[in-house]
């Protein structure tokens, strides 16, 4: 059916209005307003956008690095009225026991940083920050192992030997008044190690026991009318030795006469004549050459009795098993 001319014009105008109205709605739907929260700084962006968030941000000169965290994701479509949050990691330096590494981190506190890096503090570790401190850009976290080691050594302190002359002792004889005792020194060393390297050392010395000096009386009395005793350093000529014997050697004090009628004095020994004939010359190490000129009821077999100048010397000698030499 044909429309009248006037009605046809009105219909065309109405159609045009409908078309223009639809296009206006489409244009309005592509215009977006979003809020960008860039590391805490807010910024409002407006403009036409039908693509992704990445494209919308790039169009508005908002730079996003590969390290940044973006929510919603960069490949998401732009939604009008939404908030896009951008968080950039902070550069930090970690010096862990001398090993230095550079890291990028999203951690808010030092404790979170250590956790993300898999670092567990040991009791010996010392850190320049606390775990509750906030991480700032360019922060340096130093962790050093500080270990103390203490060792104790005991060291002997030598004693002195004091010699003094004794007129009641025969030349070549000596008697200990006091036996020397070594002292004891405790040395305690404390070393401090930083990351396995010694950085300091402290030594403390303490005397645990003081040394006791040895006091020795050396004989100065010369014998009259009897063989002179040899000194310790004197040894008989090997060619003069007839035989050697291992005997029990005891001692008695000088006084009176011997079984052979000579004075009982240093330089004389009592023997068993069946073992050592009377009149034999005998060399005793440490005493010297003596004469077998006496006997005794208790001196039987390999047993000799040495005449000493005093009871003190005889008691000091005691009883010893020694090797003696019968001379030619």
Q: What DSSP character marks residue 109?
A: B
Options 3.30.430.20, 2.20.230.10, 3.40.50.150, 3.90.1150.10; CATH for 149-216 is: 2.20.230.10
Extract the tokens encoding 249.
Answer: 């050697």
pTM passes above 0.85: no
The whole-angstrom separation of Cα 188 and Cα 205 is 6
- For the segment(s) 90-147, the CATH number from 3.10.20.30, 3.90.740.10, 3.40.50.1820, 3.10.310.10 is 3.10.20.30
One fold for 90-147 and 223-327? no
Residue 225 is given by DSSP the state S
Among the listed residues 177, 184, 173, the one whose alpha carbon sits nearest the alpha carbon of residue 206: 184
How open is the CA angle 296-218-258, to the nearest 5 degrees?
20
* Structural domain spans, the chain: 26-87, 90-147, 149-216, 223-327
Tokens of 11: 């219909």
* CATH architecture designation of domain 223-327: Beta Barrel (2.40)
Pairing status of strand 320-327 against strand 214-221: unpaired
151: which DSSP letter?
E
pLDDT tens per residue across all 328 residues of the chain: 333 444 444 444 344 434 444 444 455 578 999 999 998 899 999 998 888 999 999 999 999 999 999 999 999 999 999 999 999 999 999 999 889 999 999 999 999 999 999 999 999 999 999 999 999 999 999 999 999 999 999 999 999 999 999 876 667 677 778 888 999 999 999 999 999 899 999 999 999 999 999 998 887 866 443 443 333 435 666 667 888 899 999 999 999 999 989 999 999 999 999 999 999 999 998 888 999 999 999 999 999 999 999 999 999 999 999 989 998 7
CA 263 from centre of chain = 69
Helices (DSSP H) in the chain: which residue ranges? 5-29, 53-59, 110-116, 311-317
264 within 8 A of 255, measured Cβ to Cβ: yes
The CATH class given to the 26-87 domain equals alpha beta
């Amino acid at each position: 059916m044909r429309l009248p001319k006037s009605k046809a014009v009105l219909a065309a105008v109405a159609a045009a209005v409908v078309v223009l109205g639809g296009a206006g709605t489409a244009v309005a739907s592509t215009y977006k307003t979003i809020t960008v929260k860039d590391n805490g700084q807010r910024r409002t962006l407006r403009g036409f956008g039908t693509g992704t968030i990445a494209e919308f941000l790039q169009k508005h000169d908002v730079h996003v690095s590969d390290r940044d965290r973006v929510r919603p994701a960069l490949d998401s479509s732009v939604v009008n009225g939404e908030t896009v949050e951008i968080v950039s990691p902070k550069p930090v330096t970690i010096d862990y026991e001398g090993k230095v590494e550079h890291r990028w981190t999203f951690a808010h506190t030092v404790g979170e940083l250590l956790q993300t890096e898999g670092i567990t503090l040991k009791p010996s570790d010392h850190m320049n920050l606390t775990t509750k401190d906030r991480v700032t850009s360019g922060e340096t976290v130093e962790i050093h192992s500080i270990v103390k080691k203490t060792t104790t050594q005991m060291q002997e302190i030598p004693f002195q030997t004091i010699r003094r002359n004794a007129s009641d002792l025969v030349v070549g004889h000596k008697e200990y008044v006091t036996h020397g005792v070594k002292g004891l020194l405790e040395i305690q060393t404390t070393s401090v190690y930083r990351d396995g390297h010694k950085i300091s050392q402290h030594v403390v010395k303490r005397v645990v026991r003081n040394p006791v000096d040895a006091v020795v009386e050396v004989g100065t009395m010369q014998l009259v009318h009897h063989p002179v005793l040899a000194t310790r350093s004197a040894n008989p000529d090997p060619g003069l030795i007839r035989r050697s014997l291992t005997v029990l050697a005891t001692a008695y004090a000088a006084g009176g006469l011997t079984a052979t009628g000579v004075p009982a004095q240093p330089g004389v020994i009592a023997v068993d004549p069946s073992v050592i004939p009377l009149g034999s010359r005998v060399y005793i190490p440490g005493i010297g050459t003596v004469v077998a000129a006496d006997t005794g009821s208790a001196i039987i077999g390999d047993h000799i009795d040495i005449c000493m100048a005093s009871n003190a010397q005889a008691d000091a000698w005691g009883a010893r098993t020694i090797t003696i030499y019968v001379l030619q």
